[in-house]
Amino acid sequence: MRVLAAFKYAMAGIIHCVCRERHMQIHLTAALAALGLAWRLDFSTLEQAVLLLTIAGVITAEMFNTAIETVINKISPEVHPLAKVAKDVAAGAVLVQAITALGVGVVLFGEKLLK
């Protein structure tokens, strides 16, 4: 039963992010568009795997960012320089992952779209 409870809590976290985090909604929209285009372009199994791992990386980074921001808002509701650093670093991690995903997208889609 503990395993089921763990899955229930994990799903609650995912649902929270999808329903309440605008950036998560943007990432998911981009992911669905990329998956649809990959299907249309008949990606190989390896290309599909790389795309899925890249999407998972962005989604995971966004979820960690949400978790970090939520905890900081709870423990430091007032503006504090260290709280700002933590939030900025978490947001920066998402940005690094998103830029990397864009690069992966250029590599995966670029040549196929130019044909």
Q: Which of 31, 62, 61, 60 is nearest to 48 (CA)?
A: 31
* Per-residue pLDDT tens over the stretch 51-96: 999 999 999 999 999 999 999 999 998 999 999 999 999 999 999 9
d(CA 7, CA 12): 8
| Position 115 confidence tier, pLDDT thresholds 50, 70, 90 | confident
Q: Which residues are catalytic?
A: 62
CA dihedral (75, 80, 82, 84) positive or negative: positive
42: DSSP letter: T
* Count of C-beta atoms within a 10 Å radius of residue 65: 23
Proportion of the chain above pLDDT 90, given as a percent: 94
Rounded CA separation 26/30 (Å):
6
